[in-house]
Amino acid sequence: MGDVQIRTSADATPAADVDMSTSLGRLDVPDPVFTASGCAAAGRELAPFNDLSALGGVVTKSIQVDPRSGRPTPRMAETPSGMLNSIGLQGPGIDAFLAKDLRWLADNDVRAAVSIAGGSVEEYARLAGRLRGQPVALIEVNISCPNVEDRGHVFACDPNAAAAVVAAVKRNAPTSVPVFAKLSPDVTDIVAVAQSCVDAGADGLSLINTTLGVSIDTVTMRPTLAGITGGLSGPAIRPLAVRCVWQVHAALPDVPLMGIGGIRTGTDALEFVLAGASAVQVGTVIFNDPSAPSRISAELRTALAARGFERLRDAIGLAHRPPAIRVPEEADPLGDEQPEPDPVRRHVSFDDASTVTFEAERRRDNASNVTVNEGNEGD
């Protein structure tokens, strides 16, 4: 009971003084909330709705060597608590990206986590090399791309191919910038892929990318998306994403993780943190609420404070530890005093049910000891 009271009072004081800073390899950021790749373009469009420089950073739309037109439309289908997309990595190519998008982020003091994508190990390596000397806080390697040199097999689905990409990126990337590999959930053993990326030099992992889905339009009786299959995202995939973070953190507790998948509120973000994420990314929910990144950051702060945390770092991976009752000492209202015996726990004897009448008047007259509520008290 004491615990409940503490939470209530903390929830009512959101002026929460929580240290939200976190570390992603050698990168320290003041806030754990990032935007997810492909859900924030290169940040600029979200500036009217968020203080982007106060966030952990913006993960930019995966950039490729050359400009890409992306796929034909329709490119999206709304699904329950989520969506399917088949954008096809539309983008301006690395040159225009560096000149315009990255410049804008730097000019506006926004930490840029640059997501790169390629069709071959060599392309990833070239992209990483182009980021030398650029204002880049973190490199996220989107390995959920088909390898054109291996009959279109997706790098992320093969531990060796994933490792080859990560190693090539690490060789060419600026040494001071952490490299995160972004994993696909569409594998039988995500820990194996995670391990092999870390062995290849990844400084951390981003979990998860979308999972493959199909939607059929029952009016046209054909696939809804022009690309037929699409990536499923949004709150619909959150438990899948939390599971991936959970498994990878359990296996690799020292590797920093970014949790991604259906984060809509601060408590959703907290779920990922408790499962082992050092930071989180907000994706599809931005389409629903363009101010979601800032809102979720504030909500996460409040949620941490309400649970008695002074530092975000103390919550990372906490769900893996054996449960302990945590009642902040100074807030314990009972102190050392022995509590009064709880009146509800008293032995109560009842009349035969058939003799019980529910007249309010009667009850009040007999109310000397036991109060009977009209409703069901939910036990």
Partner 1 sequence: MTPVQVQGEVLSVKQVGAYLSMTVVASGVAEQARPGQFVAVAVGGDDGAMLLRRAFSIYQVAQRGVYGGTVEFVFSVAGKGTAWLAGRRPHDTVDIVGPLGQPFALPKEPARCVLVGGGYGAAPLFSLSDALRKRGCRVDVVLGAATADRLFGALDAKRMAASVAFTTDDGSYGEQGRVSDVLPEVIERTRAEVVYACGPMAMLEAVTRVASESYGGAGIPVKVAVEESMACGVGVCMTCVLPVVGDDGVTRMTRSCIEGPVFTGDRIRWDSLGAVPADALGAMAQFSTAGQMAR
Ligand X SMILES: Cc1cc2nc3c(=O)[nH]c(=O)nc-3n(C[C@H](O)[C@H](O)[C@H](O)COP(=O)(O)O)c2cc1C
Shortest gap between Cβ of 294 and partner 1 (angstroms)?
Answer: 11
Give the residue closest to ligand X by C-beta: 38
302 binds partner 1 (CB under 8 A): no
Residue 226 or 356: the one with the smaller Cβ distance to ligand X is 226
Radius of gyration of the chain (CA): 26
Q: What sections of 52-117 are H helices per DSSP?
A: 94-96, 103-107
Rounded to whole angstroms, how far apart are CA atoms 274 and 123? Answer: 36
85 binds partner 1 (CB under 8 A): yes
The three-state secondary structure class of 374 is coil
- Is 197 assigned a catalytic role? no
Interaction partner, residue 13 (ligand X, partner 1, none; CB < 5-8 Å by kind): none
Which residues sit opposite 23 in a β-bridge?
Answer: 28
Residue 106 or 240: the one with the smaller Cβ distance to ligand X is 240
Rounded to whole angstroms, how far apart are CA atoms 54 and 110? Answer: 8
Shortest gap between Cβ of 203 and ligand X (angstroms)?
Answer: 17
Rounded to whole angstroms, how far apart are CA atoms 264 and 286? Answer: 9
Interaction partner, residue 201 (partner 1, ligand X, none; CB < 5-8 Å by kind): none
Contact 297, 55 (CB under 8 A): yes
Backbone phi, psi, residue 92, to 5°: -85, -5
39 binds partner 1 (CB under 8 A): yes
Rounded to whole angstroms, how far apart are CA atoms 1 and 340? Answer: 13
Q: Which CA distances in Å does 71 have to 54, 108, 142, 211, 364?
A: 34, 31, 18, 18, 72
Shortest gap between Cβ of 84 and partner 1 (angstroms)?
Answer: 8
Shortest gap between Cβ of 275 and partner 1 (angstroms)?
Answer: 21
Residue 56 or 307: the one with the smaller Cβ distance to ligand X is 56
Residue 159 or 283: the one with the smaller Cβ distance to ligand X is 283
217 binds partner 1 (CB under 8 A): no
| Number of residues near partner 1 (by CB under 8 A) | 59
Rounded to whole angstroms, how far apart are CA atoms 116 and 159? Answer: 18
Shortest gap between Cβ of 287 and partner 1 (angstroms)?
Answer: 4
Residue 159 or 213: the one with the smaller Cβ distance to ligand X is 213
| Binding-site member from 5, 8, 160, 229 for partner 1 (CB under 8 A) | 229
| Interface positions with ligand X (CB under 6 A) | 36-39, 61-62, 85, 87, 89, 115, 142, 182, 209-210, 231, 233-234, 237, 260-263, 282-285
Using DSSP bridges, classify how beta strands 153-154 and 146-147 pair: parallel, antiparallel or unpaired: antiparallel
228 binds partner 1 (CB under 8 A): yes
Rounded to whole angstroms, how far apart are CA atoms 202 and 205? Answer: 7
Interaction partner, residue 41 (partner 1, ligand X, none; CB < 5-8 Å by kind): partner 1
Interaction partner, residue 121 (ligand X, partner 1, none; CB < 5-8 Å by kind): none
> Which position among 39, 145, 157, 197 bears the catalytic label?
145
Residue 82 or 317: the one with the smaller Cβ distance to partner 1 is 82
Interaction partner, residue 115 (partner 1, ligand X, none; CB < 5-8 Å by kind): ligand X
The three-state secondary structure class of 234 is coil
Rounded to whole angstroms, how far apart are CA atoms 270 and 263? Answer: 9
298 binds partner 1 (CB under 8 A): no
Rounded to whole angstroms, how far apart are CA atoms 326 and 338? Answer: 19
Residues 6+ apart with CB under 8 A from 257: 204, 205, 206, 207, 245, 248, 249, 276, 277, 278, 279
Interface residues toward partner 1, by CB under 8 A: 38-41, 45-46, 48-49, 61, 66-76, 78, 80-83, 85-91, 93, 144-146, 152, 154, 184, 209-210, 212, 225-231, 234-235, 284-291
Active site residues: 145
